[in-house]
Amino acid sequence: MSRFDTGRRLKIAVWTGAALAWGTTAAMAAQRTANAQAGYEADPGVQAQAVTEKVAAAPIPTLPEGGLVILRFQPPPEVPQEVRTVRVQAPSPRPPATSSAPQPKSSGS
């Protein structure tokens, strides 16, 4: 047996639909307000066009009223690595052993 009977499921669906409709309406109103402040109306038949402008390099860019600021990273010039020469000498080989290993002794049995 489910905790959500048919009536409760219907109420959840209605409230969820109402919340989505309210959120969509609020977002569209905010977008219309932003478009009105920018001085143009959105025309669905016109595609957005990219605007290219030559901008002088400035240390801190000015923020546009309704867009993004793109910052480009310029890495510093590469500094040549310091060359280090390390000489390692292998130890001299061991002198040969002068004594041999002891010989096994047999008891003769």
Lowest mean pLDDT among 41-45, 95-99, 103-107: 41-45
pLDDT in tens, 32-73: 888 777 765 555 555 555 444 554 555 666 777 877 777 778
* b/e burial code for range 76-90 (CB count within 10 A of at least 16 → b): eeeeeeeeeeeeeee
Report whether pLDDT(76) > 60.
Answer: yes
User: 10 in helix, strand or coil?
Assistant: helix
Q: What was the pLDDT predicted at 72?
A: 79
Sequence-distant (≥ 6) Cβ neighbours of residue 71 within 8 angstroms: 61
Greater pLDDT, 58 or 80 = 80
Distance CA 66, CA 77 (A): 35
Q: What was the pLDDT predicted at 103?
A: 77
Six token digits for residue 18: 């109402």
Per-chain mean pLDDT for the chain: 77
pLDDT bucket at 89, cuts 50 / 70 / 90: confident
Q: What was the pLDDT predicted at 68?
A: 78
Q: What was the pLDDT predicted at 25?
A: 93
Six token digits for residue 6: 């048919």
Distance CA 51, CA 55 (A): 12
Helix%, strand%, coil% for the chain, nearest 5? 30, 0, 70
